[in-house]
Amino acid sequence: MKKTSTRLADGRELIYYDLRDDTVRDAVDRRPLDRTVTTSETRRDPLLGDQVAIASHRQGRTYHPPADECPLCPSRDGRLSEIPDSSYDVVVFENRFPSLAGDSGRCEVVCFTSDHNASFADLTEEQARLVLDAWTDRTSELSHLPSVEQVFCFENRGEEIGVTLGHPHGQIYAYPFTTPRTALMLRSLAAHKEATGGANLFDTVIEQELAGERVVLEGEHWVAFVPYAAHWPYEVHLYPKRRVPDLLALDEAARSEFPKVYLELLRRFDRIFGEGEPPTPYICAWHQAPFGQLEEFEGVSRDDFALHLELFTIRRTSGKLKFLAGSESGMSVFINDVPPERAAERLREVASS
């Protein structure tokens, strides 16, 4: 992997990640852009104790542009985009309309391929490995920023999810706090450790799932399963079998196997609802241990956390979506229409030949 860092016309950082070491990236952003100004701040909810990002400048972000005006395609044929070069393998750049900025963190865009009509599932294993390496490198770099406590790599796919740019891409949020969902995991981890005299909750969950009926696919270094209490109709958790706290700690064996396993998962998601259905909308979310102090989670260290990826769709059956209504949105109590065991069975049924 070759990494080349440059600056866009408004001062934002852009980084090329290339498969070939001899690739030259010297294209200049020729757009007449003013320097980016954001109004992002985070506010703490005094009742719930969580943080809310206030970012009014995002109202002006690019919204469903036609394909020939996509800002994530390379700059070609006289049309200038967010990527100055005429082609690329993987590109990461600072979001022009970030939810988090300055002391409130940082937001980046990750473009998986220059092919506008592709998806992550269309990548080769070599390309998917390059994305993994980019995620890892950005986690490392962002973790050293003084305002950053947790790094979150994710992908939203599909208009049903709320995606406003059709080009295959994901994002990275660098939060200045530990996110509520991670805090819940850490509290459960601490409680289990105390109740069992030191057992790790993640290890217990993996052991139970490996012995059960919800495993979707299993490699030498990774296992994917539908969790016992899945929140979403089709939800899969992907774990390395050797517990590590973050992407940085994955060994080479796990890195090498990841593309094959993950690409197979994504391709199965696109076959869940049968032939002729539009691509399955989904969210892919990497959960990594916070880089900040964990004193409030008594007895728990970063090494107790388990890196994992959660992949889920809001489509519950052909032509129907799972909406977060009263119970889910009002009380955070999910109601799942698809039994996890049936979801796992279906995902095994659609295995590629």
Q: Is 116 helix (H, G, I), strand (E, B) or coil?
A: coil
| 38 neighbors 102 (Cβ within 8 angstroms) | yes
User: Would you state the torsion angle of the CA atoms of residues 204, 207, 209, 210, taken in this order, to the nearest 10 degrees?
Assistant: 170
Return the amino acid letter for 68. Answer: D
Under DSSP, the state recorded for 79 is B
CB-based burial of residue 209 (10 Å sphere; 0-12 exposed, 13-18 middle, 19+ buried)? buried
Q: Cα angle vertex 131, ends 122, 322, to 5°?
A: 60
Give Cβ neighbours of residue 147 (< 8 Å, ≥ 6 apart): 102, 103, 104, 105, 106, 174, 176
Please say if 237 is a catalytic residue: no
Q: Please count the CA atoms within 13 angstroms of the CA of 163 that sit on its side-chain side.
A: 20
CB-based burial of residue 85 (10 Å sphere; 0-12 exposed, 13-18 middle, 19+ buried)? buried
| 157 neighbors 282 (Cβ within 8 angstroms) | yes
Under DSSP, the state recorded for 329 is I
In the set 144, 167, 169, 192, the catalytic residue is 169
- For the annotated catalytic residues, the residue numbers are 169
